[in-house]
Structure 1
Amino acid sequence: MSSYLYAVLLFLMIFSSINAGEKICPGYGYILLPENCTSTCSKENDTCSPDLKCCFRVEEPCGYHCIVPKDNEPKPGICPVSLSSAQYMKWYLCDGHECDVDNDCKRADKCCYNACGMPLCIAPKYFRRELT
């Protein structure tokens, strides 16, 4: 395996461990934002209680509000860097949004970004030591 690939894998492992335990706002993919939204908090100056996070909601009342965020507890494995459309039909789907965190995905699938940057549930890649 090339040193470049090792560097990419190391970066992905470090990045996923840095974000572990982070509270995540739900995402909505590409949407037409509603008009006349009102906010009760600011994303830049989050004044929500410790168990809540200032997140955007498209549901009424739309805008930034203190809501219960999602826990980011990563599942084992790493997200694939690329897949062919034969391996995974949704790899080039540019208007999908299946997940925000790994726990949104069934079984061992992880929440990974596809070729278009959309979060989808995808079977992860594993290192040998993770399988033992």
Structure 2
Amino acid sequence: MSSFSIAILLLMIISLISAAKVCPGYGHIHEPKNCTSTCSMINDQCPQGKKCCYLKTKPCGFHCVIPKDNIEKLGKCPTLPTDDPLGSVCDGHFCDVDNDCKGVKKCCSNSCHSQVCLTPQLFKQNIY
């Protein structure tokens, strides 16, 4: 295998590893006009272990930050609509990844596309 092929293979592996990383989120982002970015989502050139993510803190804009690991919990997000009160909360952002949720709950997109912690279908009890 040529050194060029090895380099391409390593770049593909690094891309797959960083794909499992998630930016800390803030729900629906409406970036103010006076923000300053130090990186670009299109051309992510952050140092190893960091990812180009939007920050709403000052200075707001896209910056290289340490992302969250996306380690999925068992089960799948419930079918919408759900009887969980968080299933219809709008303008909320309670999680980015499953590990942000307590116990067996998963980070799911609800009917308003807000990220909330919901009990997965695998753990729902059927009451007849």
Calculate the TM-score normalised by the size of structure 1: 0.74
Q: What RMSD in Å do the two structures reach over aligned CA positions?
A: 2.1
The higher radius of gyration belongs to 2
Instruction: State the Cα distance separating 1:34 from its structure 2 match.
Output: 3.5
Name structure 1 gaps, 5 residues minimum.
1-17, 128-132
Query: Which stretches of structure 1, 4 residues or longer, exceed 3 Å deviation after superposition?
Result: 30-35
Distance (Å, rounded) in 2 between the aligned partners of 1:34 and 1:115: 26
2:120 aligned to which of 113, 120, 124 = 124
Distance (Å, rounded) in 2 between the aligned partners of 1:25 and 1:100: 8
Calculate the TM-score normalised by the size of structure 2: 0.76
Provide the aligned length of Structure 1 versus Structure 2.
107
Give per-residue Cα distances to partners, 1:53-98, cap 9 Å, x unaligned: 00010001111100000100000111012244xx211211111110
Instruction: State the Cα distance separating 1:27 from its structure 2 match.
Output: 1.1
Identity of aligned residues (%): 51
Distance (Å, rounded) in 1 between the aligned partners of 2:23 and 2:65: 8
1:26–1:55 contact (8 Å) kept in structure 2? yes
1:25–1:69 contact (8 Å) kept in structure 2? yes
Counterpart in the other structure of 2:47: 49
Instruction: State the Cα distance separating 1:31 from its structure 2 match.
Output: 5.4
